[in-house]
Amino acid sequence: MEISKIKSHASIMEKVCVKCGKDFSCDPSWTSSLRRHLSRKNPCDRPLDISYIKDSAKPGVHEIHVLDSVIVPKNLGVAPRVHSKIAPWFFEKVFSEPSNVCFVRPNKSKPNEIVVKVSKDSPVQVVTLNEFVRLFVNHVLLKNFSCDDGYEMFLCDNYIFTCMKEWNGVFSKGDGFMEGLLPTVKSFLDCMLEKTHLKNILLRM
């Protein structure tokens, strides 16, 4: 066998599980994947007479900041230039921090029902998607985001007035602000994990 073929064969063998023969050569992160595979609680070569080990550990409980007290990351980076993308960008930045996630849509059959904890002194609320966006704008966006003149005018054009105490949530069909933000919020809710666990935490707060 040629030296080059021997080296190639050896390289492939390095990416194969020595226990079960699973091939990780097509995985760009094969080193990490193979390491996880070999350190599984239930090994790949587990004999049939050995019981499967179930992971009964419950997800860890972390501190949760209610909506009107979220901690905004210090280094947000540069906001998008397109005004309709600023609120979605800010939403994702704020809620990329797990401790800020004080809301959840626990039931797929009720896509317009969101459980949210707005403040420490108020009970958990069940709101619609549009109502949740109104709460986000009033308790997070307008309180924690410094608007330049151009973005403030954009908000005014979309019936959101920074000079007022609260936005009433009214918007027209085709509203650039809502059309930009709603898909981001929906996607975030769809991708959330441990929904029941989070709902139970919120209900106990």
Report the pLDDT value the prediction gives residue 11, as an integer from 0 to 100: 52
- For the sheet containing 103-104, what is the strand order? 103-104, 114-116, 125-127
Judged against a pLDDT cut of 90, whether residue 8 lies above it is answered with no
Torsion of CA 90, 96, 100, 101, to 10 degrees: 110
pLDDT digits (tens, 9 = 90+) for 124-153: 999 999 999 999 999 999 999 988 899 999
Give the pLDDT mean for 37-47: 77
Contacting residues for 170 by C-beta, under 8 A, at least 6 apart? 159
Q: What burial class does residue 201 get, using C-beta atoms within 10 Å of its C-beta: 0-12 exposed, 13-18 middle, 19+ buried?
A: middle
* pLDDT band for position 28 (cuts 50, 70, 90): low
Q: What DSSP string runs through the chain?
A: --HHHHHHHHHHHHTB-TTT--B-TT-TTHHHHHHHHHT-SS-TT--TTSPPPP--PPPPP-----GGG----S---PPPSSGGGHHHHHHHHHHTSGGG--EE---TT-TT-EEE---TTS--EEE-HHHHHHHHIIIIIHHH----HHHHHHHHHTT--TTSS-------TT-HHHHHHHHHHHHHHHH---HHHHHHHHHH-
Report the pLDDT value the prediction gives residue 53, as an integer from 0 to 100: 62
Neighbours of 159 (CB within 10 A): 15
pLDDT digits (tens, 9 = 90+) for 190-202: 988 889 889 999 9
Report the pLDDT value the prediction gives residue 13, as an integer from 0 to 100: 58
Mean pLDDT of the chain: 84
